[in-house]
């Protein structure tokens, strides 16, 4: 009997697909893959704001590394001077030691020729460490007062020379370590700056124009905040003048001078002295406007931030440390509202930047690589960036 089953039409079976469910899953996967292939690729390029933030962060990190470099350089310089001094001292002491040894040798030779001493005495006098023989009374009793003095001088000089040699060796090791730190800090600065330049070089002309517009907007906001601070300080000064005048009138009417008036006069004299020094420091700083920022530079052709403030106050006869995190402790901290021209304004939690306050919410500073010494609002990076204000003199 012939079979009644219909034969499968040729070409309708798909190899490997045995159930309708699997076929459906496969078709769905193909559709999804097709949609993914047609979709636009994800753009992982950072936004302009992100680029700006990254560049600013790199500049800040470079400035912080610059302070590390400055500190290592200053330490290396001091250690090199100390090593040179110690080596010179060792050379002089070695000469004295040789002279003392020659004198002892002449004594020993003379005694040996005349038979005034036993061979052991000559050995004692010519030994590298005569201290080892000090307890041998029978030898010491044979020496004259002059000879004993020569032995004492030799032993003392030998001990001092060995001590200085140890100090010189330790200082040389410290110097080597400082030179390594200096090299590391320099490499860190250079890498941060190179990364920042790379990011900026990838911007198109349109993006650079937009970035400039963003910077302009930030600058306008910073100037607005500076103007507000200037108004607040002017109002506070006016109020202080009125209070002083009222106190003076009150004192004149009573015909007496209070201890408070004496204190006020002393404070005024102190303020006047500071103002005189600050004026000299600011005059120097203004003369540097337009000179380039160069990390590690202290003038006269270029400066970094702390190099500028150090040089400016040096012109006023005030010595400041080299780095920002040392300068922040070189004076009296005052409130921002009480800031006076000449005060130092420090920025960021790591105290990696400093500028010199000139009044009205403005300062002179060496901003960052690629920029020049200039006047700018102390709010140039926002109010939260301000760390403290210090009066150095």
Distance, C-alpha 76 to centroid of its chain: 14
Q: Give the whole-angstrom CA distance, residue 298 versus residue 73.
A: 12
What φ, ψ does residue 320 adopt, rounded to 5°? -115, 150
Q: Tokens 């699997």 belong to which residue? A: 22
Cβ density class 151-180: b for 16+ within 10 Å, e for less: bebbeebbeebeebbebbeebbeebeebbe
**Strand 386-391, strand 374-377: pairing:** unpaired
Q: Which of 365, 373, 389, 392 is catalytic?
A: 365
Specify whether the CB–CB gap between 393 and 334 falls below 8 A.
no
Q: Give the whole-angstrom CA distance, residue 67 versus residue 86.
A: 28
Q: Which of 164, 291, 322, 353 is catalytic?
A: 353
185 is catalytic: no
Q: Tokens 């470079």 belong to which residue? A: 62
Specify whether the CB–CB gap between 203 and 55 falls below 8 A.
no
Q: Which of 185, 193, 305, 344 is catalytic?
A: 305
DSSP labels, 283-341: HHHHHTTTPBB-TT-BSSS-B-HHHHHHHHHHHTT----SSHHHHTTSSEEE-GGG--T
* Whole-Å CA distances, 353 to 62, 171, 308: 11, 32, 11
4 is catalytic: no
353 is catalytic: yes
Catalytic residue ranges: 305, 353, 365
């Amino acid at each position: 009997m012939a079979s009644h089953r219909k034969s499968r039409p040729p070409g309708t079976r798909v190899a490997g697909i045995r159930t309708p469910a699997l076929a459906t899953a496969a078709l769905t996967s193909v559709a999804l893959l097709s949609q993914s292939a047609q979709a636009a690729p994800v753009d992982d390029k950072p936004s302009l704001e992100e680029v700006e933030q990254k560049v600013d962060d790199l500049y800040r990190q470079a400035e912080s590394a610059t302070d590390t470099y400055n500190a290592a350089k200053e330490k290396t310089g001091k250690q090199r001077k100390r090593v040179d001094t110690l080596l010179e001292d060792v050379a002089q002491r070695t000469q004295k030691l040789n002279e003392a040894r020659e004198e002892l040798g002449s004594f020993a030779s003379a005694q040996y020729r005349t038979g005034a001493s036993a061979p052991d005495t000559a050995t004692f006098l010519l030994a590298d460490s005569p201290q080892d023989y000090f307890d041998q009374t029978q030898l010491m009793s044979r020496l004259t007062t002059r000879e004993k003095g020569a032995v004492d001088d030799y032993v003392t000089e030998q001990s001092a020379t060995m001590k200085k040699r140890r100090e010189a060796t330790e200082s040389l090791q410290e110097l080597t370590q400082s030179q390594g730190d200096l090299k590391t800090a320099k490499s860190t600065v250079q890498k941060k700056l190179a990364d920042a330049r790379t990011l900026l070089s990838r911007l198109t002309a349109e993006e650079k124009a937009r970035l400039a517009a963003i910077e302009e907007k930030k600058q306008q906001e910073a100037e607005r905040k500076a103007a507000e601070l200037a108004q607040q300080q002017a109002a506070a000064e006016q109020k202080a003048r009125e209070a002083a005048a009222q106190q003076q009138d009150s004192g004149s009417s009573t015909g007496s001078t209070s201890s408070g008036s004496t204190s006020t006069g002393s404070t005024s004299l102190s303020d006047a002295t500071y103002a005189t020094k600050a004026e000299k420091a600011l005059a120097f700083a203004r003369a540097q406007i337009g000179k380039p920022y160069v990390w590690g530079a202290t003038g006269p052709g270029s400066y970094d931030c702390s190099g500028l403030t150090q040089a400016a106050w040096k012109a006023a006869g005030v010595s400041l440390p080299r780095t920002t995190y040392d300068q922040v402790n070189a004076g009296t901290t005052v409130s921002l509202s009480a800031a006076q021209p000449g005060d130092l304004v420090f920025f960021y939690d790591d105290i990696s930047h400093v500028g010199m306050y000139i009044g009205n919410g403005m300062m002179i500073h060496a901003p960052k690589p690629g920029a020049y010494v200039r006047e700018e609002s102390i709010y140039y990076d926002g109010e939260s960036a301000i760390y403290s204000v210090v009066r150095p003199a």
